[in-house]
Structure 1
Amino acid sequence: MAIGVTMYTFDIQLADVDRGVYEDLSVRVARHPSETDAFMLTRVLAYALEYEEGIAFSEGISATDEPAVLVRDLTGALVAWIEVGAPDAARLHTGSLAGARVAVYTHRDPAKVAAPWAAKKIHRAGEISLYSFDSGFFDAATAVLERRNTMTVSITERRLYLDLNGSSFESDVHEVAAG
């Protein structure tokens, strides 16, 4: 018998001082059985850190032609293609052709994530940003994940302050050009 998706909810108070974005968000996330807690939490943080009008999660792992998170304008045009984890160069190339901006958020070592992209054809590779977090951040934060989660996400000067279910965590948000 196949295991189905598990639904998680996140009530998020977002205070992104760097961008001037302050929102209360309620997000439902379908976690696929093959998805790790760290990957799911990275998706949620990417959503919060990229939050703007028109942002949405894609259909997830089953949506092979869409990123984990995307932003569309009022006309339905793709504005931002936001990958999570360690996407291959072909996905980044497709995203860069399809959207005005491409970003990758990873819970892994960014050097190991970017290494396979070297010498590969990626449209506008130099404009793609790769975001990572301090070592150990996701190990600590995923230890307190529950099916229903309360989060406060604050970011100032690229320093992330996360309160998840009453536990506090901090990390710099490191940015590296993908190309």
Structure 2
Amino acid sequence: MALRSSVVKAQLQIADMDRHYYQDHNLTLAQHPSETDLRLMVRLLAFALNASEQLQFSSNLSDEGEPELSEKNLHGDIELWVAFGQPDEKWLRKACQRSARVRLYAYGGRAVPIWLQQNAKELKRFDNLELWEVPEQDAQALAGLYGRSMQLQCTINEGQVWLSDGDTSVQVELKRLGFD
């Protein structure tokens, strides 16, 4: 018998002063049984950082041919493909070929620089790929905000990101990854 995804509800208030985007979102996320709370919170963070009226989570996390988080234009073309973790280079190549912009939010502590070093040669040829790292301590702090039903506020100002559930605030200092 297959395990079913859990449903996670999040009310997310976003005040992004860098992009002048101020909006409330009622989100329903599917959490696959193999997905950690940390990974789900990184997905939620990525939503806040890229929020728009067209940005949507995929309804099926196990479909590797489609983005988990994307923004499509009126013609159905993918404008923004958001990826997570340390995916295979071939998967990112496919994303870069199918989308105008691809953003990867890598996490995993000491494994991230190793992954980047192993894949840098192939990845640096994609002009539409941005790589961001969520530092391990920040990702762990984000996971502490996890709940099956969440009310979160996200403030973004001058590149600084704060998430709060009313009791606890977490600052996330994303690091832009480059190719040396």
Q: Which region of structure 1 is more displaced relative to structure 2, 101-110 or 16-25?
A: 101-110
Mapping of residues 26-175 of structure 1, within 5 Å: 26-109=26-109, 110-120=112-122, 122=123, 124-164=125-165, 166-175=167-176
Distance in 2, Cα, partners of 1:74 & 1:93: 24
Would you say the 8 A contact 2:124–2:179 is kept in 1? no
Is 43-52 or 57-66 further displaced after alignment? 57-66
Please report the TM-score for the alignment, with normalisation by the length of structure 2.
0.89
Of 132-141 and 149-158, the range deviating more from structure 2: 132-141
TM-score normalised by structure 1 residue count: 0.90
CA distance in 2, matches of 1:92, 1:164: 33
| C-alpha distance in 2 between matches for 1:178 and 1:57 | 29
| SS in structure 1 of the partner of residue 114 of structure 2 | helix
Unaligned runs of 5+ in 1: none
Give how far 1:141 is off: 2.5
Give CA deviations for 1:83-117 in whole Å, capped at 9, x if unaligned. Answer: 01111111111111111101101232331342331
Looking at structure 2, the residues matched to 174 and 96 of structure 1 have their Cα atoms a distance apart, in angstroms, of: 21
C-alpha distance in 2 between matches for 1:79 and 1:172? 25
Which amino acid is the alignment partner of residue 64 of structure 1?
E
Q: Does 2:8 correspond to 1:8?
A: yes
Q: Distance in 1 between matches of 2:135 and 2:124?
A: 28
Shift of the 65–27 alpha-carbon distance from structure 1 to 2, 3 Å rule, reads same
The one-letter code sitting in structure 2 at the alignment partner of 1:142 is A
Stretch of structure 1 that moved more, 21-30 or 103-112:
103-112
Shift of 1:47: 1.2
Secondary structure of residue in 2 paired with 1:104? strand
Structure 2: any 5+ residue segments left out of the alignment? none
Q: For the residues of structure 2 that align with 1:161 and 1:16, how far apart are their CA atoms?
A: 10
The root-mean-square deviation of aligned C-alpha atoms, in Å, is 1.9
Greater mean deviation of Cα atoms: 94-103 or 53-62: 53-62
